[in-house]
Each structure stands twice: as structure tokens, then as C-alpha cells.
A and B are shown apart, each in its own frame.
Chain A
């Protein structure tokens, strides 16, 4: 019982709590940034894969296919390791930022790049599904109205495609939040790594000078709870969107 009380005193320690919450902030920010940039790069990749099918542009299609397939079929951790060694880091980031040491800021940049590259490939496939769901007649109609190909993409096809994939993209945010925990393998920035670090120094905070099994349950259990609250609320949003979408076509169609 005493051990359990000690474990709870770790989390109720204001400094430790602030440390964990900062990790939560990093987790959410990294994931949202990765998904936003992933949507940008992923859309480009998807459009290239779908529409660069003639003559000289063929080579870009192959490159996009290669990129998507390579990233989809290798683990994220491999790309984190690769970016640690090969990703160049701008000099501006060689300083203390947001309560991280300069080494950690650099690690954050490199691992975030890995996460963005990986997420782009997944989102590219999602966007491609959206593009394929747009009827081909839309292109012809656009051409008939005198739109150029770029205008058709921007004003006609992409808005419809994105309208169809909003729920899938949101559930990709959930996946990315979970994937961001892989950053814990190389740096102590986000929630998962901070909790793990706290466990290894739990003896300092629980007042018992030993690490007990209850510390594991309290610390990791708390992290589970945080992840669950964030992701479950997101998945509820996804579900209500999907429900609304199922009802919509009937209303619009008639």
C-alpha cells in the first residue's frame, strides 16, 4: 500500500506533472505538424502517381510509386535511425528551445523529418483513394467549361476528394499520435519517452529509494490514460463524421 502511495506521489509532484504534460504537448504538436505536412507532400505524391501517366512525365510517376511503396513496406524506426545519421539539420536549430537542450532540438528536428516522410507515404495512399472516388466525368466537364488542368485539380477535383477523406485523415492523426511514440527510442521529448525516463528515476520521487512494480503501473497507466483520452475523443469525432457522410448522399441526391 505504501508503495502505491509513493507511486502516486510521483505524478502529483507538480514539477513531474508539468514535465509529463509538456511531453503530451510535444506529442500532439509533432503529430499534427507531421499530418499537416504529410497532407501537403502526400497530395503531391498522390496526384503525381495518379495523373503523370503519359510520355516524359512517366518517370515522376515511377518515382512517386517507388517512394510510397518503399516507405509503406519498411518500419518507421528504420527511417528514424536513417534520419539521425543522414538528415541535415539547419544551423538555426543549434540552440536551446522550448525547454529542450540544443542536442534534443536537433534530435527533435531529425526524428520529426522521419515521421513526416513516413506519414506522407501513408497519406498519399489515402488521398489517392479520395482522388479515385471522384468521377471521371468531372474532368471532362471541367475541360468543357474551359478550365485548365491545374484549375480543374484545384477547384473541382481536390475539394471533392478531400471532402471524401476527412474521416480517414482524422484517423490518420490517431495513428500518427501512436507512431510518434517511436521517437522514444532515440530522444526524451514526447510523452512516451518522458514516462519511461521517469520510471528509471522513480526512486528519487516516490520516497522509497527503490523502483517498485506499482511505479510501472501508475506511470505507464497514466500515459495510457492520456493517449486513450486524446485518441478516443478523436475516434468519436471520426465516427460521427462517418455517420453524417453516410446520410448525406441520400439527402443531396434526391
Chain B
């Protein structure tokens, strides 16, 4: 099994542990800045989509459809080679941050839109009638209510974003997956397939599992609360 039970192979991985940690750091860095960009794009487009103004909503719709229906790997290659062949190279990490930000921005936009649309129309009207401006209405009335609907799928997006940093491999990145593959195929370090893959998978798991468990637990508790409040509303109806 290519070194699963060989002490030598495990030793090799232990010797080069710094490489894996550097890969993890690069993955984390790409994911972090990618997330920030995705949040900015997503919130702006999500507000566009729910603004009620046709042209803005149309822009958001087109962006989301185009980005969500093409693979992130293709977008990465497109951006990377388009920049490289026009002598504008911005570095692999920056390309990765930009691509992941653009790609997940579309998903964040959908999450934000769904969150805002879940708030009853009356809340907007009530806020407007109390004299709130657009920003005040969003900030004080709408966002606090929609945040609990937005957060669980948002956390899932973060997990996907972390996993998608692996697409940097195709343009020769230094993220965790690329580092792992270079390690197992390297001239001096090659051969320790099983230990290297286990370590790299474990690192991803340690980062992603708490996040995705948190998201699903959140979702379940929200659903339970919905059921409970639904029952309460129904029994209230009956009493009336």
C-alpha cells in the first residue's frame, strides 16, 4: 500500500512537515482573502438583487447565472492565461484569491438574496413608514432578522471555498493539495503516498469538519424553532 505501514515513509513526511504547514498557510491565506472578496461581491450583488430596481437586479442575475453555471477551474485558467498572455501576471496566489472571490461571490449573493427575501414585505414597509432610509432600514430592521437564515449556508460556502483552493493546482500553485502532490512525486521525497495523502486529508478535515458540523447543527436548530413557532401560531389561530 505504497508506504501505509512503512516507518520510513512516515518518517519522510515528518521530516518535511514544514512543507505541509506552508501549504496549509497558503491555502488559508487564499481562502481568507478570497472570502473577504466574496463577501464584498456577494453582499453588494445580493442587495442589488433585492433592491427592486430592474437594471440592478438584472446585473446581479446575469452575474450569478454566468458564474454559477461554469466551473471554477475554467474561470481560474481563463483568468490566469488571459493575464499571462497579455503580460499582466499578478501571481498565482492573487489569481486564486480573485477567482475564488468571484466564484463564491455569486453563491454568497444568492445566500444574501434568499435571506433578505425571507423577510416579510411588511417589515420593509413598516421600516419605511417609520422614516428609515435605505441603509438604516437594512441595518436596523432587515439584516438582524435575516442573519440567522444567512449564516448556515454562508458557513457551508466557507467550507467549499477552502476545498476549492485545490483548483490552484492546475496553474502550479503552492496550496496544500499542490504541495502534497509535489511531495509524493518529487525526486527526493517521492513514494510516501499513503502518509502524505492521509496527512493532507486530515489537515483539510480538521479545518472543515467543525465548520460544516456547526452549519448543519445551526440549520437543524433553526428548523426546530420554525416548527415550534409554527405550532404556536397554529394553536394561537385555533384559540382565536
Contact = CB atoms under 8 A, between A and B. Distances in A.
Do A and B associate with each other?
yes
Interface string B196-217: 0100110011001100100000
Interface string A114-141: 0000000000000000000000000000
B221 interface: no
Given A213-B82, A216-B81, A182 B73 contact: yes
A181 B76 CA distance: 11
A211 B82 CA distance: 11
Interface residues of A, number: 40
Contact of A78 (B71, B72, B82, B197): B197
Contacts of A11: none
B77 interface: yes
A81 B197 contact: yes
A183 B217 CA distance: 33
5 contacts: A74-B205, A76-B163, A177-B71, A199-B81, A231-B68
Interface string B167-189: 10110000001001100100000
Contacts of B212: 69, 72-73
B85 interface: yes
Contacts of B235: none
Contacts of A179: 71
Given A76-B166, A77-B169, A85-B2, A70 B205 contact: yes
A220 B78 contact: yes
Interface in A161-197: 174, 177-179, 181-182, 184-185, 192, 195-196
Contacts of B184: 81, 85
Contacts, number: 114
Contact of A216 (B82, B159, B180, B209): B82
B170 A184 contact: yes
B74 interface: yes
A125 to B, nearest CB: 9
B129 interface: no
Interface of B: 1-2, 65-66, 68-74, 77-78, 81-82, 85-86, 159, 163-167, 169-170, 177, 180-181, 184, 193-194, 197, 200-201, 204-205, 208-209, 212
A228 interface: yes
Nearest to B82: A216
Interface of A: 69-70, 72-78, 81-82, 85-86, 174, 177-179, 181-182, 184-185, 192, 195-196, 199, 211-213, 215-217, 220-221, 223-224, 227-228, 231-232, 235
Given A220-B78, A223-B74, A74 B69 contact: no
Nearest to A232: B69
A217 B1 contact: no
B69 A86 contact: no
Contact of A211 (B73, B85, B197, B200): B85
Given A213-B82, A216-B85, A220-B74, A185 B170 contact: yes
A243 to B, nearest CB: 15
A156 to B, nearest CB: 23
Contact of B205 (A73, A82, A196, A215): A73
Contact of A228 (B1, B69, B200): B69
Contact of A75 (B2, B66, B166, B209): B166
Contacts of A199: 81
A231 B197 CA distance: 32
Contacts of A231: 68-70
B74 A78 contact: no
A200 to B, nearest CB: 10
Contacts of B73: 181-182, 184, 192
4 closest Cβ pairs, A-B complex: A231-B69, A73-B208, A181-B71, A75-B166
Given A86-B2, A178-B71, A232-B65, A212 B85 contact: yes
